[in-house]
Each structure stands twice: as structure tokens, then as C-alpha cells.
């Protein structure tokens, strides 16, 4: 039942222990394959029972998440599972594995310990992960990345306050690829480290050409902080570009801020003491509890587009946004709402006391030259 596919060899004791546990869970109609590290594929021929395959995936994840003893060490393996159903999702093992792999990629994008069933749309939207890895590496070597800049504004008078740098990939055959497609892969392969350093330098250089009161926001991945070189890299980018620290804003997500033992809070305090602003990005999409906001070293929160898109229609979103704005005010945090697409949303946010907004209504991401022109208007 345990099939060591795609050339990976189950060599060490840990993997053997995991494999044994996995084997104990599967039925004869189910094939479980390990695709790499903590990645598993299930191929089920019980076509009418996707729930059974999902349940198997859950059991596999639960079992391998229990500590395993390897040479006196207790090791906790994670696990992500992609599932393909035969014959609907493929008629050959290769095709089924490929589709399970696409589902696995989605599962991993949702965090550790997730399982996903293959859906046909995955084939069209996702590049095959392995070809994506190769493509990304050559993209980096061939300079196919570039930045666009999306403006953000003060709500009261719609004054331009700054731009957020957003990464784009000019793919030789696919055209412009958005970061949702490749950031996770860049993180998994470690490419995000050189790429993230490049974004920082390049964005600071662009912003140094803008008027002095126009700020720059840069997105950072949690991995960039794990290396411990982040504060030095930021100092260097500021030095080379001549950008004042008070004009730089770093956007981090909750999962970055919640990483324990990474020394990240200390690093962020150091950056703040130089005048750099720290923003909590995508607020409301993660583990957010309002009460922990108090303890984080942040200056601003960005309320996720998910709340804003429904703010005028249903009450719960509006009530949540109101509560977040009230709490931020009490904690003296600035607030930016992302994804404003209509005047109605903007008016609602103004009425609720949100300080800053960003979204297609007032400005889409644009090239550096356009951003520069806009910054002088």
C-alpha cells in the first residue's frame, strides 16, 4: 500500500515509522503514496465515496502527527494529503498521482495538516508544482520579476499617503503571473530569501524618488525573519537607497507575528525604534483574536478585503469591522482597509472611523514610473 513514488526513497527510521502507520490505515481500494517529506497522495477507487478518502486522509494526518521515537528523540511529523478519485480524476496511475499532487499543493497552501480532494479547476489554475519550481528558479536567474505599486490614501481627504510594493512575474509563456501562484512555492524552496531581499532593495530605490511625505509599504514573508538577517538587510536597503526609515512600512501577517522563539518581536521592536512602521496584514483571516492585538509590536492593522467586500451587504462583517476599528482606536493603532472597490464601501468605512484605504476604487497596482508620476500630482 505504501508506494515510494517519484524517486523518493524511504530511507530513515522516521519515514519508515510514518509509512507503517499510514499503511495500517488504508483499505485495499486505496493507494497511499508519499510524494516527498510530509506530503502524501491518496488514490481511491471507491469513486462514490470521497468522504471515505477524506476520512482516511484525516486519520493519516492524525496518526503521523503523534510523536514518533527515533533514536531516543521524539519527533513530530506533520502531514498534508492530496486526494484523487479513480476513475473520475484520471485513468492512469500517473495521471491520478499528478492530480493528487495538485490537490496536495492546495492543501499545503492552506497550512499544515490539511487534506484536499482534487477538483478539475486545479489543473487549469495551478501550474504543476514541480514545473513551477524549475520555472521559478530560471525566472530568478533571468530577471523575470518586477514590482508594481498600489497607492493607499487617507480617508478624510483622499490624500495619497504611500504605495505598497507588490511582486509580479513576467512569465515567458503565461504572461504576468500574480504572487498568489508562486509565493508559497518560493517559500518552500527558499527562493523567497534572495527574492525578498531584492524586493526590499528595489522598492526602497523606487520610493527614494518620491516626495518626502509619500511612504513605502513592503510585504515580508515569515521565512525572511527566521534567517535573523532581516534587520541588517533592511538597514542596508535604506542606506543604499537613502530612504528615511520613517517612510518605510513593513507588512507582516499574523502567522509571522505569532511565530514563537524566532526572536521576531525583539527584531521588530528594534526596527520600530529606528522609526520604521510595522503593519499587521490581512487582519481577520488568521488566528486573530482581538485581545492579542494589545501584545504585538505593531503600529497599524490592515483589515482584510474579505470583510470589506461584504461590508455594505451583511451586518456581521460591518459589526466586525466596527469592533476592530474601535479597538484599534483604543490601542492607538492606525487602520487601513484593503480592497475598497465602491464609493459605498468607502463611505461606510469613513462613517466607522477607518483612517486609511486601499483598493481598485482609488488606485490599482501600477508600474514604478506611473507611481512616481502619481506621487508628484
We find the least distance from the C-beta atom of residue 306 to Ca ion, in angstroms, to be 7
User: Rule CB under 6 A: which residues touch ligand C2E?
Assistant: 150, 166-167, 178-180, 183, 196, 199, 219-221, 251, 281-282, 305, 338-341, 358-360, 365
- Contacting Ca ion (CB under 5 A), which of 202, 254, 281, 352? 281
| Of residues 168 and 265, the one with the C-beta less far from ligand C2E | 168
CA 122, 124, 127 angle in degrees (round to 5)? 80
Stretch that binds Ca ion, among 59-67, 235-243, 332-340, 345-353 (CB under 5 A): 332-340
We find the least distance from the C-beta atom of residue 285 to ligand C2E, in angstroms, to be 9
User: Can residue 282 be called a binding residue for Ca ion (CB under 5 A)?
Assistant: yes
We find the least distance from the C-beta atom of residue 322 to ligand C2E, in angstroms, to be 20
| Of residues 44 and 348, the one with the C-beta less far from ligand C2E | 348
Work out the burial of residue 366: count CB atoms within 10 Å of its CB; fewer than 13 is exposed, 13-18 middle, 19 or more buried.
Answer: middle
| Of residues 9 and 180, the one with the C-beta less far from ligand C2E | 180
We find the least distance from the C-beta atom of residue 280 to ligand C2E, in angstroms, to be 11
Nearest alpha-carbon partner for 306 in 294, 291, 324: 324
We find the least distance from the C-beta atom of residue 359 to ligand C2E, in angstroms, to be 3
Question: CA-CA distance, 346 to 313, in Å (whole number)?
Answer: 13
User: Can residue 30 be called a binding residue for Ca ion (CB under 5 A)?
Assistant: no
We find the least distance from the C-beta atom of residue 305 to Ca ion, in angstroms, to be 5
Which of positions 33-52 make contact with Ca ion (CB under 5 A)?
none
We find the least distance from the C-beta atom of residue 118 to ligand C2E, in angstroms, to be 24
- Considering CB under 5 A, how many residues would be counted as binding Ca ion? 7
| Of residues 80 and 221, the one with the C-beta less far from ligand C2E | 221
Nearest alpha-carbon partner for 296 in 337, 250, 359: 250
Confirm if 29 and 45 have CB atoms less than 8 A apart: yes
Stretch that binds Ca ion, among 29-37, 136-144, 277-285, 307-315 (CB under 5 A): 277-285
Cell reading at 243: 530612504
We find the least distance from the C-beta atom of residue 206 to ligand C2E, in angstroms, to be 13
Which of positions 109-148 make contact with Ca ion (CB under 5 A)?
none
Work out the burial of residue 231: count CB atoms within 10 Å of its CB; fewer than 13 is exposed, 13-18 middle, 19 or more buried.
Answer: middle
Residues 6+ apart with CB under 8 A from 96: 43, 84, 86, 89, 90
Q: What H or E segment, with its residue span, contains residue 61? A: helix 50-64
Question: CA-CA distance, 106 to 117, in Å (whole number)?
Answer: 9
- Contacting Ca ion (CB under 5 A), which of 219, 221, 241, 328? 219
List own/partner pairs for 123-127 with CB under 8 A and 24 or more apart: 123/99, 126/102, 126/181, 127/174, 127/181
| Cα–Cα distances in angstroms (integers) from residue 76 to residues 23, 38, 41, 59, 73, in the given order | 18, 11, 20, 15, 10
User: Can residue 254 be called a binding residue for Ca ion (CB under 5 A)?
Assistant: no
DSSP state of 232: H
| Of residues 25 and 352, the one with the C-beta less far from ligand C2E | 352
What is the contact surface with Ca ion in residues (CB under 5 A)?
A: 219, 251, 281-282, 302, 304, 338
Amino acid at each position: 500500500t505504501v508506494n515510494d513514488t517519484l524517486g523518493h526513497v524511504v530511507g530513515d527510521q522516521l519515514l519508515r515509522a510514518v509509512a507503517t502507520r499510514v499503511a495500517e490505515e488504508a483499505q485495499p481500494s486505496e493507494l497511499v503514496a508519499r510524494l516527498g517529506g510530509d506530503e502524501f497522495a491518496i488514490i481511491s477507487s471507491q469513486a462514490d465515496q470521497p468522504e471515505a478518502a477524506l476520512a482516511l486522509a484525516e486519520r493519516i494526518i492524525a496518526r503521523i502527527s503523534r510523536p514518533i521515537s527515533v533514536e531516543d528523540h521524539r519527533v513530530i511529523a506533520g502531514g498534508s494529503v492530496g486526494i484523487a478519485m479513480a476513475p473520475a480524476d484520471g485513468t492512469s496511475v500517473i495521471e491520478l498521482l499528478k492530480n493528487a499532487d495538485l490537490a496536495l499543493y492546495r492543501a499545503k497552501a492552506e497550512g499544515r495538516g490539511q487534506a484536499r480532494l482534487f477538483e478539475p479547476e486545479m489543473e487549469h489554475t495551478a501550474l504543476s508544482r514541480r514545473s513551477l519550481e524549475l520555472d521559478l528558479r530560471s525566472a530568478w536567474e533571468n530577471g523575470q520579476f518586477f514590482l508594481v505599486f498600489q497607492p493607499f490614501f487617507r480617508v478624510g481627504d483622499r490624500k495619497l499617503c504611500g504605495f505598497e510594493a507588490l511582486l509580479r512575474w513576467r512569465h515567458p509563456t503565461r504572461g504576468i503571473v500574480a504572487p498568489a501562484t508562486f509565493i508559497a512555492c518560493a517559500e518552500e524552496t527558499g527562493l523567497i530569501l534572495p527574492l525578498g531581499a531584492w524586493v526590499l532593495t528595489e522598492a526602497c530605490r523606487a520610493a527614494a524618488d518620491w516626495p518626502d511625505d509619500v511612504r513605502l509599504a513592503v510585504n515580508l514573508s515569515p521565512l525572511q525573519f527566521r534567517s535573523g538577517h532581516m534587520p541588517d538587510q533592511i538597514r542596508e536597503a535604506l542606506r543604499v537607497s537613502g530612504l528615511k526609515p520613517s517612510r518605510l512600512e513593513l507588512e507582516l501577517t499574523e502567522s509571522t507575528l505569532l511565530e514563537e522563539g524566532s526572536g521576531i518581536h525583539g527584531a521588530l521592536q528594534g526596527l520600530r525604534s529606528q522609526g520604521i512602521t510595522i503593519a499587521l496584514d490581512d487582519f481577520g483571516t488568521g488566528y486573530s483574536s482581538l485581545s492579542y492585538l494589545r501584545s504585538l509590536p505593531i503600529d497599524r492593522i490592515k483589515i482584510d478585503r474579505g470583510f470589506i467586500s461584504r461590508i455594505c451587504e451583511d451586518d456581521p462583517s460591518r459589526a466586525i469591522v466596527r469592533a476592530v476599528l474601535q479597538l484599534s482606536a483604543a490601542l492607538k493603532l492606525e487602520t487601513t482597509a484593503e480592497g475598497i472597490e465602491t464609493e459605498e464601501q468607502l463611505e461606510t468605512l469613513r462613517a466607522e472611523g477607518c483612517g486609511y484605504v486601499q483598493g481598485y476604487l482609488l488606485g490599482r497596482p501600477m508600474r514604478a514610473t506611473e507611481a512616481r508620476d502619481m506621487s508628484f500630482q
